């Protein structure tokens, strides 16, 4: 389903494509249908039944996985008769000097920001799925949640680890720990959460 381009003097009911910035008059979209940008084919509106409950379930699952992935061993390295298990949290605090700043920054981008973003999403959606008025400051909370998306780098960390461990495997015996598999599942669920979310529908619920 395509949407028509809006006239310049129409101010109400507009939607802007997040990819190419083309502005449209927002159409009425039925459940399981989609409104797609005519220029870049980005999905603009895609309402789904019970999407709010599914998003909260996914967000809670990812939060649990984040906590577990931080505490459990991420990988085991063996070389020269020595063996060591390391978690993400242990790796962040083992560095000293300038590298400690980098380690804390990595921990912030792959743990703190994703967790904060998901908690904000749950805060915004919880009253909506129960047909209650939006929570106080729900609009700023959702705006902040969306602003944190570019800074949530769990999937970038997973790809970087995969590349680094392939190179490291030539020098030592590397075995993925339970946290690594949790992190892999976490990345998939984060992608699923972003794919399921209809931001236009959430904003419409907050404005109702």
Q: Report the distance separating Cα 184 and Cα 158, nearest Å.
A: 7
How confident is the model at residue 6, as a pLDDT? 45
Residues 25, 76: one domain?
A: no
- In terms of Cβ atoms closer than 10 Å to its own Cβ (0-12, 13-18, 19+), residue 193 is buried
Determine how many CB atoms are found less than 10 A away from the CB of residue 69.
26
Residues 70 and 40 in one domain: no
- What is the DSSP secondary-structure string of the chain? -B-PBPPTT--SSEEE-TTT--EEEPPP--TT--EE-TTT--EEE---TTHHHHHHHHHHHHHHHHHHHHHS--EEEEETTEEEEE-HHHHHHH--THHHHHHHHHHIIIIIHHHHHHHHHHHHHHHHHTTPPPPTTHHHHHHHHHHTGGG--HHHHHHHHHHHHHHHTTTSEEEE-HHHHHHHHHHHHHHHHHHH--HHHHHHHHH-
| Whole-number pLDDT of residue 208 | 65
Query: Do residues 37 and 114 both lie within one domain?
Result: no
Full domain range(s) for residue 100: 51-207
Residues 173 and 81 in one domain: yes
pLDDT of residue 202: 86
Do residues 14 and 105 both lie within one domain? no
Residues 37 and 127 in one domain: no
Question: Quick one: pLDDT at residue 9?
Answer: 47
Of 17, 10, 29, whose CA–CA distance to 204 is shortest?
29
pTM of the model: 0.79
The pLDDT score that the predictor gives to residue 17 is: 83
Residues 55 and 41 in one domain: no
Degrees, nearest 5: CA angle 127-145-152: 135
pLDDT at 89: 74
Contact 155, 187 (CB under 8 A): yes
Does 104 lie in the same domain as 181? yes
- Tens of pLDDT along the chain (208 residues) come to 544 544 444 555 788 888 888 888 877 887 778 888 888 888 888 888 888 899 999 999 999 998 888 888 887 777 666 667 777 777 666 665 666 777 788 888 888 899 999 999 999 999 988 888 888 999 999 999 999 988 888 777 777 777 777 777 677 677 778 888 888 888 889 888 888 888 888 888 887 6
Count Cβ atoms below 10 Å from residue 40 Cβ, excluding itself: 12
Q: So what's the pLDDT on residue 96?
A: 58
The total number of structural domains in the chain stands at: 2
Burial class (CB in 10 A: 0-12, 13-18, 19+), 173: exposed
Q: Are residues 114 and 56 in the same domain?
A: yes
113 in the same domain as 158: yes
């Amino acid at each position: 389903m395509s949407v028509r381009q809006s006239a310049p003097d129409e101010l109400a009911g507009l939607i802007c494509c997040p990819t190419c910035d083309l502005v449209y008059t927002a159409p009425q979209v039925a459940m399981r249908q989609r409104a797609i940008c005519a220029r870049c084919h980005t999905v603009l509106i895609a309402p789904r039944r019970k999407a709010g409950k599914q998003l909260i379930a996914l967000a809670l699952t990812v939060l649990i996985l984040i906590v577990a992935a931080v505490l459990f061993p991420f990988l085991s390295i063996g070389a020269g008769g020595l063996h060591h298990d390391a978690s993400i949290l242990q790796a962040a605090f083992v560095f000293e000097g300038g590298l400690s700043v980098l380690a804390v920054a990595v921990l912030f981008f792959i743990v703190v920001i994703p967790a904060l973003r998901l908690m904000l999403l749950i805060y915004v959606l919880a009253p909506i799925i129960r047909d209650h008025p939006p929570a106080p400051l729900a609009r700023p909370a959702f705006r902040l949640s969306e602003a944190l998306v570019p800074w949530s780098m769990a999937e970038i960390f997973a790809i970087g680890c995969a590349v680094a461990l392939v190179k490291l495997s030539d020098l030592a015996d590397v075995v993925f720990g339970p946290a690594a598999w949790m992190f892999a599942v976490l990345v998939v669920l984060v992608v699923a959460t972003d794919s399921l979310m209809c931001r236009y529908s959430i904003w419409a619920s907050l404005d109702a």
